[in-house]
A and B are shown apart, each in its own frame.
Chain A
Amino acid sequence: AQSVAQPEDQVNVAEGNPLTVKCTYSVSGNPYLFWYVQYPNRGLQFLLKYITGDNLVKGSYGFEAEFNKSQTSFHLKKPSALVSDSALYFCAVRDILKGSYIPTFGRGTSLIVHP
């Protein structure tokens, strides 16, 4: 079965500091990995995805994520946080080998960027 874990319910960071939102996954085969962001009263917005290739993936709004196969992680990062980055972030995985068409989402991590 495929699963994803976001070990932190909340991450607090000061504006201008680097941020990391953690995600680990478990699949039988190779993973497709995604990050989404949700602003209040809005649907989820796509940030970035890892399918294959370069382990460092760059996405929207200056975010990037690093795929680490040995640690089964796909942490979301940004070099310099903005107050406007404050939102709920979801990691998702889909197992290629399993042939599932259904992505599994994590519980979400609330990012709070303080001025």
Chain B
Amino acid sequence: GAGVSQSPSNKVTEKGKDVELRCDPISGHTALYWYRQSLGQGLEFLIYFQGNSAPDKSGLPSDRFSAERTGGSVSTLTIQRTQQEDSAVYLCASSAARGQGEPPYTFGSGTRLTVV
């Protein structure tokens, strides 16, 4: 597609349930990033993919969080046993290969996760 697509746009889940958030990057973009945006906290880096591998997953807040990327395209962020503090907007961004200069990051509209 023309932009970065994230689904669902909104998700309400009960505490303790698992959730999966999906990101479909721009076709051909090799780099993919997940960020979390909490009220008043700015953007918190979670994980970075280059192709299918994740050279930097240092931002994942706990082992309840995991992510994968298949076929160098779609990525799924999974949160197990959700807690109320996981409530936030989860943003995905993609960018082209760095051999093309310093390309800007294109963001999706995000998934608003509410844990009740």
Contacts and interface: CB of A to CB of B under 8 A. Distances in A.
A73 B105 CA distance: 21
B104 interface: yes
A83 interface: no
B102 A44 contact: no
A90 B48 contact: no
Contacts of B104: 34, 46, 49
B67 interface: no
A104 B58 CA distance: 13
Contact of A43 (B48, B91, B98): B91
Main secondary structure of the interface of B (DSSP, over half): strand
B50 interface: yes
A46 to B, nearest CB: 4
Nearest to A46: B104
Contacts of B31: 101
A51 B41 CA distance: 26
Interface of B: 4, 6, 31, 33, 35, 40-43, 45, 48, 50, 55-56, 91, 93, 98, 101-102, 104-110
12 contacts: A36-B107, A42-B109, A43-B93, A43-B107, A44-B91, A46-B106, A51-B101, A51-B102, A101-B48, A101-B55, A105-B45, A107-B41
